[in-house]
Amino acid sequence: MGKYSKREFQLGEWWLGQREGSPAWYAFRYDECKRRTERVSLGTDSLERAKEKLTELYLQTRVVRDEKPGDAPLADVLRRYWDGHAKNLRSASSNRDCINRWLDFWGTAYVGELTDVARQEAFHKFMRERGYQSTTMMRTISIGKAALNRAVARHELMSAPHLLSVRVGDRPPMGRPLSVDETKAIYAHAAEHVQSFMRWALGTAARPEAVLELHSRQVEWDTKLVHLNPPDREQTPKKYRPIVKLPDSLSSRFEGWAVSYLDQPVVSIKRGLLRACDRAGVERCSPYSFRHTVAREMRKGGVAPWEVAAQLGHSAGKEYAVTER
């Protein structure tokens, strides 16, 4: 290596080295095509920090194809899921928290180690001891499952181990239904973009994220249909976004986002909604409250459960349990 010291630590094709007389660490690998050694500065003179940065570089540059579970670092699978998908979602913050729970417990484990049922149960215990509810635990497990399934679908991983579930049980809807008077009061004290959200949430019974992502290109004005699923979003059975009727109250044409602030799409409506509740003197509610308010009013009006389920994007399931809840 000439003026560089011997290999101190190696991962795959990358290794650590230093210039003679310099404490700074570099990452090296040999480029077969160019027939020369490539060097990358790691910006540190700490060997332990250099090892961490070399690991990051290795994970970022390695080419993965049909890796066996026993050879696939779990952290690598989670990182690719985050970089390629999870960080671009509206739920990015929650997704990051879930991934961090996986990393906090599993650390440098390989995917193959997930077949150890006792360790999975220890992971559940780890989360319970930190005060996480069963719903949060199940979401964390679901994020891990999604990362593994994505790696299999992209032929980066040969197979994905089975992940144990956590019993959640029946739980109330994610937002209390509102009375007509409460809804009127909140609307009267809401900012304009919150009022827009309320109109579309009540008019479509869509999930909050679907309302916030709704664009004029998803509305068929002549046939009065609203495609709640954007053309670039893959439909998912769990949170299916249906095509619904455009109510007459929402038939005024517009261009751009249905809910916007200063001509920009609104990322979260929660804070503005809470302020409107406080100004109106109404018990605080969540963005989901309008969806559940519509569902309750439909059932009170005698609408059949399968029609309510179709409006909400629910699957039939056992006696429309989710819809009826």
**pLDDT of residue 188 exceeding 90:** yes
Count the residues in the chain.
325
- Give this prediction's pTM: 0.53
Per-residue tokens: 232 = 């670039």
**pLDDT of residue 316 exceeding 60:** no
Angle formed by the axes of helices 117-129 and 134-153, nearest 10°:
140
- Separation of alpha carbons 310 and 182, rounded Å: 26
- Separation of alpha carbons 102 and 81, rounded Å: 13
pLDDT at 8: 75
Pick the CATH number of 180-232+240-324 from 1.20.1730.10, 2.60.40.10, 3.30.750.200, 1.10.443.10: 1.10.443.10
Instruction: Please write the tens of the pLDDT for every residue from 245-297.
Output: 999 999 999 999 999 999 899 999 999 999 999 999 999 999 999 999 998 88
Q: Which residues pair with 215 in a beta bridge?
A: 257
**pLDDT of residue 235 exceeding 90:** no
Find the range with the poorest average confidence among 133-137, 162-166, 181-185, 305-309. 305-309
**pLDDT of residue 49 exceeding 50:** yes
| pLDDT greater at residue 224 or residue 302 | 224
**pLDDT of residue 128 exceeding 80:** yes
The contacts of residue 135 (CB under 8 Å, 6+ apart) are 168, 171
Query: Residue 160: what residue type?
Result: A
- Separation of alpha carbons 89 and 94, rounded Å: 10
Q: Is 32 exposed, middle or buried (0-12, 13-18, 19+ CB in 10 A)?
A: exposed
Domain boundaries, the chain: 10-61, 69-153, 180-232+240-324
The contacts of residue 146 (CB under 8 Å, 6+ apart) are 81, 86
Q: Is 117 exposed, middle or buried (0-12, 13-18, 19+ CB in 10 A)?
A: exposed
Residue 243: what are its φ and ψ, rounded to 5°?
A: -95, 125
- Separation of alpha carbons 133 and 142, rounded Å: 14
**pLDDT of residue 2 exceeding 60:** no
What is residue 39's DSSP assignment?
A: E
**pLDDT of residue 181 exceeding 90:** yes
| pLDDT greater at residue 168 or residue 169 | 168
Residue 194 and residue 310 in contact, taking contact as beta carbons nearer than 8 Å: no
Are β-strands 243-245 and 25-31 bridged in parallel, bridged antiparallel, or unpaired?
unpaired
Angle formed by the axes of helices 134-153 and 92-106, nearest 10°:
90
pLDDT at 171: 55
Per-residue tokens: 181 = 């008077």
83 pLDDT tier (thresholds 50, 70, 90):
confident
How large is the average pLDDT for residues 96-105?
94
**pLDDT of residue 322 exceeding 60:** no
pLDDT at 320: 44
